[in-house]
Structure 1
Amino acid sequence: MRRYGQSLYQPRSPVARCVNFLCAVLLTLILVAGVILFVLWLSLRPHRPKFYLSDFSIPNANRQSAGLANLPMHFTVNEHNPNQKIGMFYDEILASVFYGDQLIATGPVMNPFYQQPKGDTPVQGTLLARGPVPTDPSWGRFAGEMSAGSVEMRLVLTSKVQFQVKVWDTKHHHMKVECDFTMQGDGTLRPQDKNSQCTLYF
């Protein structure tokens, strides 16, 4: 039993004080290292590119009673790299145009290229339409929508992308860009869809 006046304070041994000090230093170093790694991860984490449909046209589309076969399709999609310190390497870009589920044009439109950080590159292409033609089941609906001045279509871009982070490159990512838009009766892009952002899939 503790006697009256005996101190409750029990001095810690030097070994215990040394262990507590080392634990405090270790925890501080772990915290500082965690903050540094988090900041580095934020600065080096690649952000996906962005794509905007700038233009699409099929000249003389409304004057073709025999269908769209062999008519040129012109388009421009603006690509933007939002990363401040990360560049991107693109493989060859393949474009396809769909009317509903029907593929009406496809082909390569751009050779491999490097996109610098915060850079912009217009992806421009011309494809020859393979349809629809009057013998296609979809021709009646397509012709009716052309007469009404509103044809819903979809432009798809596919490629592979590799991010360049400082002095090393990441793995290749399969990229798919879908631009849904409406074509007017004269074969031009509806004004509301100009510069609309496309959907990106990785």
Structure 2
Amino acid sequence: MGDADVEKQAPENGPDSSPPPEPTSRLGLILKVVAAIVVLLGLTILFFWIAVNPRKMKFYVTDASFTQFSLSNDNTTLQYNLRLYVTVRNPNRRIGFHYDVVEAGAYYDGERFDSANLMSFYQPRKTTTVVDAWFSGQRRLSLDSDEVVEFNERKGNSGIYPVDVKIRFFTSIKLGTMNIGDFKVKVKCGLKVPLSGSSAAGFTTTKCDVDFNPLLVIYND
């Protein structure tokens, strides 16, 4: 037996014949890791907000009156002077609110007759802020004959006019040193506003509806 026989008996050192890992198994592993991270992050946020127990801010119109609210001789132009006071309450014990780009609009019979920019402000936890809004001027309205009759009847009878005030703004939540989010908030106040000098009773404090549902925030009313 020679060297040739030894060479014949030696194992060949060829390439690894084991099959490569399937791409689908790698993809499945990646998806599982991503899903686990998402679930963990979601649970962290959930427990965090439950511990903070955030509540919506509350809006009330505490006073409102017209010193002028009348139609021109041709019944096409509304002349108005409306002043109102809005009380904003932050009921939270741990978080504050920033109120930015605050705009209020006044509506009669579903038609906006004026808008006003209100002050931006920061509201600490468990505090109340009073904001005033003033609408004054004149505006053409598209009232039909029946609506004109109704307008004049209200002036002659009750001296009280239904007015919707809608407030929109952006808010962020302050928790400690962190400012979280930039959320859009809509507030609607359905008011019965008396005309000064008429026989109408005074204004009744009115609670407003607050539409504030930012992503990943759980609110208690």
Q: TM-score w.r.t. structure 2 length?
A: 0.63
How many Å apart are 1:46 and its aligned residue? Answer: 2.2
Note if contact 2:65-2:195 (Cα within 8 Å) is conserved in structure 1: no
1:71 is aligned to 2:80: yes
- What whole-Å deviation, never above 9, does each CA across 1:134-186 have from its counterpart, x for those lacking one? x7434332222222213221111110111111222221111111111112354
- Residue 5 of structure 1 corresponds to none
Structure 1 residue identity aligned to 2:194: Q
2:204 to 186, 194, 197: 194
Q: 1:190 to 1:47 in 2, by over 3 A?
A: farther
Give matches, 1:130-145, under 5 Å.
130-131=138-139, 136-137=143-144, 138-145=147-154
Note if contact 1:61-1:187 (Cα within 8 Å) is conserved in structure 2: no
- Residue 163 of structure 1 corresponds to 173
- Residue 8 of structure 1 corresponds to none
Note if contact 2:162-2:193 (Cα within 8 Å) is conserved in structure 1: yes
- Residue 45 of structure 1 corresponds to 53
CA distance in 1, matches of 2:86, 2:197: 17
Structure 1 residue identity aligned to 2:155: M
Give matches, 1:21-32, under 5 Å.
none
- Residue 89 of structure 1 corresponds to 98
Structure 2 residue identity aligned to 1:179: C
Structure 1 residue identity aligned to 2:81: P
1:152 is aligned to 2:159: no
CA distance in 1, matches of 2:124, 2:86: 17
CA distance in 2, matches of 1:55, 1:185: 12
- Structure 1 residue runs without a partner (length 5+): 1-33
- Residue 58 of structure 1 corresponds to 66
- What whole-Å deviation, never above 9, does each CA across 1:80-131 have from its counterpart, x for those lacking one? 0001121110102111111121111112122x21001011111101112434
Q: 1:184 to 1:57 in 2, by over 3 A?
A: closer
Structure 1 residue identity aligned to 2:180: T
SS of equivalent to 2:49: helix
1:128 is aligned to 2:136: yes
CA distance in 2, matches of 1:65, 1:184: 19
CA distance in 1, matches of 2:167, 2:94: 25
Larger Rg: 2
Note if contact 1:58-1:187 (Cα within 8 Å) is conserved in structure 2: no
Note if contact 2:99-2:122 (Cα within 8 Å) is conserved in structure 1: yes
How many Å apart are 1:45 and its aligned residue? Answer: 3.4
CA distance in 2, matches of 1:168, 1:97: 35
- Structure 2 residue runs without a partner (length 5+): 1-42, 213-221
CA distance in 1, matches of 2:129, 2:197: 25
1:179 to 173, 176, 189: 189
2:124 to 110, 116, 127: 116
Cα RMSD after superposing both structures: 2.8
- What whole-Å deviation, never above 9, does each CA across 1:20-71 have from its counterpart, x for those lacking one? xxxxxxxxxxxxxx9xx84x53342321100011111110436x65477453
